[in-house]
Amino acid sequence: MSRLTYAIAAGVLAAACLGVVAYAQQRVIATDPIGYGRPQAVVTYVDEIKKVSSQPIKYLIYSHHHFDHIAGGKPFKDAGVTIVAHRRARERLVGLKDPHTVLPDEIVDTGRTITLGDTTLELSYIGLNHSDSTLVMRLLKQKVLFAVDFLPVGSVPGRGMLDFYPLEAEDSIKKVLAMDWDKLIPGHPGAPGGRLGTKQDVQDQLMFLQDASAAVKVEAQAGKCWDPVEKELKLPKYQSWPGYEQNLPFVLRRYCALWGRGF
């Protein structure tokens, strides 16, 4: 499944949950417009929502400030949708002035709950992780969690490690594990087959990060960061995970920055 198709499916899943359960209450909530470099995708996204609900879209929630997820929201804005994001996302967007990314209308600090009929969507800021502006979204009754990018399902994270907060992310992941949910919609397709995630997947991802961190820490303190670690260190326990060969250097580089440099 392409990333675009997946993202639309994820968006429609959220919309469908709300549209069906809160049908009498007449509203839809959408998430990340995913229009980076492809504005037409956002038009398609809006059309796909219309196929599963005749109700107007009330809110568009930004999961975090990265442009690959939130660029292209103009069709939503033009339709009168209220855009919601974490305070830090807005601060970054104000500074960057990206011409393709619409500023949020409403700000979340620690959390917010949106209720439509008997359906409740909880937005939570659980600290620094994949970004400094991540909101995790949870449909309380359906026990569905939408956590974008910082919880890959069954795969090794890659370029997302560039501005990852390694120490704080572990706390953030533990907070996610303590929440009540059954199904995780990740920001990119779960492996294999674009599947949704479980708490076991989150536990596995935490273990991967902790193993990578511990391995690099030893090497860093022996003076091996950066090149020797990036080129030679392996984590064979995870070699069957998609992205292992291509993405592991990004992971090792991030932990070298932490343990070899103090950042």
Q: Which amino acid is present at 117?
A: G
161, burial (CB in 10 Å: exposed 0-12, middle 13-18, buried 19+): buried
Side-chain-side CA neighbours of 66 within 13 Å: the count stands at 20
User: From the CB of 32, what's the least distance to Zn ion, in Å?
Assistant: 10
User: From the CB of 149, what's the least distance to Zn ion, in Å?
Assistant: 4
- Which residue, 149 or 219, has its beta carbon nearer to Zn ion? 149
- Which residue, 66 or 138, has its beta carbon nearer to Zn ion? 66
Tokens of 12: 């429609």
Tokens of 23: 């049908």
- Which residue, 66 or 254, has its beta carbon nearer to Zn ion? 66
- Which residue, 27 or 66, has its beta carbon nearer to Zn ion? 66
- Judge contact between 229 and 252, C-beta under 8 A: yes
Measured from each CB, the residue nearest to Zn ion is 66
Angle value at C-alpha 200, between 131 and 168, nearest 5 degrees: 25
- Which residue, 163 or 182, has its beta carbon nearer to Zn ion? 163
Cα gap 175→40, rounded to integer Å? 36
The residue assigned the tokens 């974008």 is 148
User: From the CB of 163, what's the least distance to Zn ion, in Å?
Assistant: 8
User: From the CB of 217, what's the least distance to Zn ion, in Å?
Assistant: 25
Q: By CB under 5 A, name the binding residues for Zn ion.
A: 66, 149
User: From the CB of 64, what's the least distance to Zn ion, in Å?
Assistant: 6
